[in-house]
């Protein structure tokens, strides 16, 4: 038939989606809540959102946390066991949170 078009539809999540984590439940919930709040507050500036998340997690759970926020990214990291979270929020915004080793003994 003439005029038949196939459309590609993008999946947009309207809720926070945890893609992968090995965090304990209390840390995971806090990190997800802070991330959603920060991304909504600083929707136009991911640097400020990442800084807000890092400061909140460092204050509550101890340093050093690392946070990367962006769209369409891939990664390879080394992280402290039981401290990594990869989640989607606010559509297609990706948040990667992990803790590094504070000191080498």
54-101, pLDDT tens digit by residue? Answer: 999 999 998 889 999 998 887 777 777 888 899 988 778 899 999 887
In terms of DSSP H, where are the helices of the chain?
25-41, 46-61
Q: Which CATH architecture has domain 17-100?
A: 2-Layer Sandwich (3.30)
State pLDDT tens for residues 15-61.
788 888 898 999 999 999 999 999 999 988 999 999 999 999 999 99
Q: How far is CA 61 from CA 8, 65, 87, 88, in A?
A: 42, 9, 19, 22
Give how far Cα 88 sits from Cα of 30, 65, 81, 102, Å: 15, 18, 21, 27
- The reported pLDDT for the residue numbered 13 is 56
Q: Locate the domains of the chain by residue range.
A: 17-100
Q: Which one-letter DSSP state was computed for residue 105?
A: -
Residue 103 has pLDDT above 80, yes or no: no
Which candidate, 96, 91, 86, places its Cα nearest to that of 40?
91
């Amino acid at each position: 038939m003439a005029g038949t078009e196939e459309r590609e539809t993008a999946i947009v999540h309207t809720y926070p989606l945890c893609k992968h984590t090995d965090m304990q439940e209390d840390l995971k919930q806090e990190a997800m809540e802070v991330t959603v709040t920060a991304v909504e507050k600083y929707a136009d500036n991911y640097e400020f959102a990442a800084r807000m998340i890092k400061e909140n997690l460092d204050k509550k759970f101890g340093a050093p946390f690392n946070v990367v926020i962006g769209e369409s990214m891939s990664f390879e990291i080394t992280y402290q066991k039981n401290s990594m979270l990869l989640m989607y929020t606010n559509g297609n915004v990706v948040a990667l949170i992990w803790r590094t080793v504070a000191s080498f003994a």
